[in-house]
Amino acid sequence: MKDILLITPPFTQLNTPYPATAYLKGFLNTKNKTAYQMDLGMEVILQLFTKEKLQLVFNTALENDTIISANAQRIYTLRDSYLKYIADIILFLQGKNQTFARLICTDNFLPRASRFDQLDDLDWAFGSMGLQDKAKHLCTLLLEDLSDFIIECIDGNFGFSRYAESLGRSANDFNELYDELQQEITFIDAITLDLLDDTLEKIKPKMVCFSVPFPGNLYSSFRCAQYIKTHFPSIKTAMGGGFPNTELRQVTDTRVFSFFDFITLDDGELPIELLLKNSITTDNSKKEYKRTLLLENGKIVYKNCNQTDYKQNELGTPDYSDLLLDQYLSVIEIANPMHSLWSDGRWNKLTMAHGCYWGKCTFCDISLDYIKLYEPITANILVDRMEEIIAQTGETGFHFVDEAAPPALMKSLAIEILKRKLTVTWWTNIRFEKNFTKDLCLLLQASGCIAVSGGLEVASDRLLRLIDKGVTVEQVARVTRNFTQANIMVHSYLMYGYPTQTIQETVDSLEMVRQMFKIGILQSGFWHQFALTAHSPVGINPKDYAITPHYNDITFANNDIEFTDHTGIDHSQFSYGLKKSLFNFMHGVNFELPLQDWFDFKIPKTTIHTDYIYNSLENELPKVPKPQQKVYWLGTIPNLSYSTKTKRGVTRELVVLQFHEHRESYSISLEKEHGEWLANQFSKLKISKNKPLSFANLKTSFEADYDNFELFWSSKAIQQLRNRGLLLF
């Protein structure tokens, strides 16, 4: 018997578990509370894509006479091939059958339906990604074909990363979702509920908590809660997570609480701890709740006691036990190395800081605690947690899922990783701010950082000011250049349709993006249309942004709000052209096409100079070192050799410092005294537990015997080292 069962309902990701339940389980460990967790969506997928269940899918589609489209007919006709290979494909995507890749990539091996129509356009791209990645991509397309068949013939709500999403998106009232829950269970529901029943019988929890991050998890959470109320009425049910945090703060429909006993908001640790304490007492006067909605005397009430939330360093290390870590599927949807990070590989999820250190972007929910309350964790604790998770999972890859990771903490994290000589791979979300210098990016790369994602949003300085993004396009270009030169991939979130945005600004934004991809300082991106949310500055003060919101009566979910932009522009018309052009740019093709070619309606010519981004990078002024800046050396300790050089009768003694890197060797030549002084500094500049030296420390040391350290620092030899790992920040 366990105190609590933590469930992520269908569906989130195929390649790695959504981290919320692991965070909560790690916290409950610190309180000696027993918890069991399951990624129910992943378990459903593993059940669905078996020979037995797929055979049932095909039989059901035939019996129901739903095989109508030519694509569905083709898949059904080839059903024997799908059934023959599905087990081997799943094993391959789990990383357990790697030699199968050669057969997968053989022409005419896998059955192909409509998802493979795009393959001819992408086939060339796999030369840079390799045989294994090409095989993953082909298997991904096959699973998507089967998904299309299931959607058309079995369950129209199915989707790999979401289920019945339309029922949860902008659901201002509960009626549609409630009516759906009164219908007979679906094919997917049946698999879900069988797995749930088995776990409930095995675990026998006092309480079941559903973490619902997205609209696409909402329906299944209610369907599961409904099942529990019917078949296990003594078990209490609760819901938390991203969806209720942003959408259910104003719920008034009491029918919701016939499924869930409690809905908790924002950070879940203290609310769950109190719910468990309440479960062992019958005295209602002693029960305390933290940010919890519940039904009391037939009315929904919100209870929030004065007890203080736990600090981030008190929450414990995320615990991934119970999850089927060796059975997740690595899939590749498109042939882009950066884009594939979200779906390929098993990443341990961690957070550097709670909330956002910037907290000003006007499209963001900055009024809510998950953004507003910023609290970082020390680098020492972070790396302690990384080592604990590596020991538990055997995986050394980490995705830091911050709103925006702070540069100062990223620097400290990188230094701590290097101090401990850990070999890890990590990536995170950032703001493209000026603190990401070339030197900092080189440090991050040395610690194992392989990629960053960040919001360029609308590539227009006017709109970036309106968004209060705190960056300019020129600054973003320089930062992305710094990351790219350090061999760190960059993904950019892009936005169109922001209030007051003109057609000209949309076209100019696309031109900025085109240039950044062409130069090679962006590797991946994604366009999305601006959505007005209730808890953002735009949603709270719409008149300031020249829009008119159209409010509905709220009895259930409240987040996305329909609105009229006073420009009168239909921004949705740009969606296809923006996404199609970006798809091409991500694959390094068709930069030379006029922007007009991406749209089937007339657009104005761009006003952006064709070399705007290039010139932005060229015009950067060199920075003068500051005395307090720390100096680090990432390279090797050099070997020394001596020589003399005679010019015009004057003989000079020289020292040659030879450095051996992994791929090559190089050397610099200096005056004997200067060279020997420098050679003695390298061991002191290596990252270690010793206190780092500052620029002022080096200057004092040098000028004790020699003149003008600034002149020496700006010499050609030192500048060569500055490009090889002599860092200053």
pLDDT tens figures, 196-254: 999 999 999 999 999 999 999 999 999 999 999 999 999 999 999 999 999 999 999 99
For 618-643, the DSSP string reads: HTPPPPPPPTT-EEEE-SPPPEEEEE
Residue 281's pLDDT band (cuts 50, 70, 90)? confident
> Could you give phi then psi for residue 611, rounded to 5 degrees?
-115, 25
Token readout for 426 is 């990590």
Tell me the average pLDDT of the chain. Answer: 94
pLDDT value of position 205: 97
Instruction: Give dist(CA 630, CA 616) in Å, integer.
Output: 28
In tens, the pLDDT along 27-77 reads 999 999 999 999 999 999 999 999 999 999 999 999 999 999 999 999 999
pLDDT value of position 163: 81
pLDDT value of position 334: 82
pLDDT value of position 606: 98
Q: What is the pTM of this model?
A: 0.94
pLDDT value of position 480: 98
pLDDT value of position 507: 98
Residue 339's pLDDT band (cuts 50, 70, 90)? confident
390-401 mean pLDDT: 97
User: Going by C-beta distance under 8 Å and a sequence separation of 6 or more, which residues neighbour residue 359?
Assistant: 366, 371, 372, 374
Beta strand 562-565 with 630-633 is: unpaired
- What amino acid occupies position 250? Q
Residue 690's pLDDT band (cuts 50, 70, 90)? confident
In tens, the pLDDT along 583-609 reads 999 989 999 999 999 999 999 999 999
Sign of the alpha-carbon torsion through 366, 367, 371, 372: positive
pLDDT value of position 689: 85
pLDDT value of position 123: 55
323-349 mean pLDDT: 92
632-656 mean pLDDT: 91
328-332 mean pLDDT: 95
pLDDT value of position 160: 87
418-442 mean pLDDT: 97
pLDDT value of position 645: 86
pLDDT value of position 129: 60
Tally of residues, the chain = 729
426-452 mean pLDDT: 97
Residue 170 has pLDDT above 80, yes or no: no
In tens, the pLDDT along 3-27 reads 999 999 999 999 999 999 999 999 9
Residue 118 has pLDDT above 90, yes or no: no
Token readout for 646 is 């005679």
Residue 619's pLDDT band (cuts 50, 70, 90)? confident
- Establish how many alpha carbons lie within 13 A of residue 524's alpha carbon, considering only the half-sphere containing its beta carbon: 17
Which is nearest to 326 in space by CA: 347, 350, 346?
Answer: 346
- What amino acid occupies position 171? A
pLDDT value of position 169: 72
Q: What is the dihedral of CA 52, 58, 64, 68, to 10 degrees?
A: 160
pLDDT value of position 115: 93
Residue 335 has pLDDT above 80, yes or no: no
Residues 21, 49 contacting (CB under 8 angstroms)? no
Instruction: Please give the radius of gyration of the chain, using alpha carbons only, rounded to the nearest integer.
Output: 29
Domains of the chain: 4-43+162-314 (3.40.50.280), 67-153 (no CATH), 332-614 (3.80.30.20), 630-728 (no CATH)
pLDDT value of position 119: 65
State the DSSP code for 382: H
pLDDT value of position 475: 96
